Amino acid sequence: MHFSTLTALAAFSATAAFALPAAENNADIHAPYAGPGNYILQNAATGTVLDLLNGVQGPNTRINGYKLNPGPHQIWQVSATGPNDEVTIINSATGAIASCPKVVNTPNGWFQLVGGEVPIDDYARFQKITNIDNSVQFKNLATGKCVDLAESNPANGTNVLCYDCHPGVGENQNWGFIKS
């Protein structure tokens, strides 16, 4: 991404129209998935976005919820990997691939979503499930768990988890696409 594009994106993000409303979701709020490309993935419940911690590309780097800056570590390539709306989520700045862990990886017993160099297996692949408001849930193919912003917490650094799926519009497991 060119510097001028980032500058324009930063200026655009300063406007109120950029943030999605947290509670009053309807079918017109979220832009639909427009195919493989670069996106900012914004949580429907809080307006925070997927953020690769400090833009680190190393193994097992935490993926958190964070207010939109927008830094390059908040831009994700969402690409089809198979039938039934299966996708991978890859950080555009570092190439870190989002993956659900095979075992609990936090002191409080959660499955923290991580990014890094991982095999493209079912832990790094997600089924994209589109909701009535065009937001999506990402259901992990290996674990059956969904990408979840912990406790709908809007604070910077909130854990993004692989957690039991619970469908519903405007929930902390629903993510909107902002084309980057």
If we measure between CA atoms, which residue out of 95, 97, 41 comes closest to residue 68? 41
**φ, ψ at 59 (rounded to 5°):** -65, 145
If we measure between CA atoms, which residue out of 71, 7, 75, 81 comes closest to residue 38? 75
Residue 104 confidence (pLDDT) above 60: yes
Count: domains in the chain: 1
Residue 65 confidence (pLDDT) above 80: yes
Per-residue pLDDT band for 29 (boundaries 50, 70, 90) equals: low
Residue 145 confidence (pLDDT) above 50: yes
Nearby residues of 65 by Cβ (< 8 Å), 6 or more positions away? 43, 46, 48, 49, 50, 51, 149, 150, 153, 154, 155, 156, 157, 158, 159, 160
Residue 128 confidence (pLDDT) above 80: yes
| Average pLDDT in the chain | 83
Taking residues 89-112, report their average pLDDT: 94
- The pLDDT, as a whole number, for residue 120 is 87
Tell me, what CATH number does 102's domain have? 2.80.10.50
Looking at per-residue pLDDT, the higher value among 9 and 167 belongs to 167
Q: Tell me the chain's radius of gyration from C-alpha atoms.
A: 15
- Measured in residues, the chain has a length of 180
Nearby residues of 42 by Cβ (< 8 Å), 6 or more positions away? 19, 20, 48, 49, 68, 175, 176, 177, 178
Q: How many CA atoms lie within 13 A of 107 on its CB side?
A: 0
Residue 11 confidence (pLDDT) above 80: no
- Number of helical (H) and strand (E) elements in the chain, helices listed first: 1, 12
Looking at per-residue pLDDT, the higher value among 7 and 175 belongs to 175
Domain range for 149 is 3-179
Q: What is the percent of the chain where pLDDT is above 70?
A: 83
- Out of 39-43, 64-68, 176-180, which region has the weakest mean confidence (pLDDT)? 176-180
Residue 6 confidence (pLDDT) above 50: no
